[in-house]
Chain A
Amino acid sequence: ETGVTQTPRHLVMGMTNKKSLKCEQHLGHNAMYWYKQSAKKPLELMFVYNFKEQTENNSVPSRFSPECPNSSHLFLHLHTLQPEDSALYLCASSLTAGGATNIQYFGAGTRLSVL
């Protein structure tokens, strides 16, 4: 148990569906992150929030829409996805997004399959 909880653990959706991934952290952290993990590729950073403000958007397509209502919760809203978006989506948190020694704590991920 890392203190970062992601739901759902598995999600199957069609290309026309709208769904949301949820991440919650109980560590008192102020920074939260979304990563995409695809087979045989390095983890890709998608979004970073620091004190609820988005500080990073790594050229992610607009069909992915993040939301951070407070420092403990992070959502990833999905709509009109493509099959190549099928991957493991990981959420992480850290004390802040500043400081190169900050340790990031990861959730178990949501395994997304787009049909």
Chain B
Amino acid sequence: GDSVTQMEGPVTLSEEAFLTINCTYTATGYPSLFWYVQYPGEGLQLLLKATKADDKGSNKGFEATYRKETTSFHLEKGSVQVSDSAVYFCALSALDSGYSTLTFGKGTMLLVSP
């Protein structure tokens, strides 16, 4: 079945540091890929997405590129802020019997200190 693997957290960074959170996936066919973010006490919010190979999703300074050859969708940000502290989930969406379902990774907690 489909699966998503994320790096274990927590990732601890100082403000303005460069961020990379690795994500690799296993899927049949051509899934869409997503990054969701969960701030403390809240639900998941879509951060960015990519629907086909070589697409780059971007939002709020975060970027991720859909790499079919390496089955990866790594999340990057050039300069993190304290307000970026949250849990980040990589996910894929694929059609199954005509319906799309999201498969999530376990999440990576990011802690940014001033």
Contacts and interface: CB of A to CB of B under 8 A. Distances in A.
Interface string B52-96: 000000000000000000000000000000000000010001110
A98 interface: yes
The contact size tier of chain B is: 20 to 34
Contacts of A102: 93, 100
B99 A56 contact: yes
A106 B100 contact: no
A29 B10 CA distance: 35
Contacts, number: 67
A48 interface: yes
Main secondary structure of the interface of B (DSSP, over half): strand
A55 B106 contact: no
A109 B36 CA distance: 15
Contacts of B100: 94, 97-102
Interface residues of A, number: 28
Nearest to B31: A100
17 contacts: A4-B43, A40-B106, A42-B103, A43-B44, A45-B102, A55-B99, A92-B44, A94-B100, A98-B100, A100-B31, A101-B51, A101-B100, A102-B100, A103-B34, A108-B42, A109-B42, A109-B43
Interface of B: 4, 31-32, 34, 36, 41-46, 49, 51, 89, 93-95, 98-107
Given A103-B34, A106-B36, 11 more contacts: A45-B102, A97-B100, A98-B95, A101-B51, A102-B93, A103-B49, A105-B46, A106-B43, A106-B45, A108-B41, A108-B42
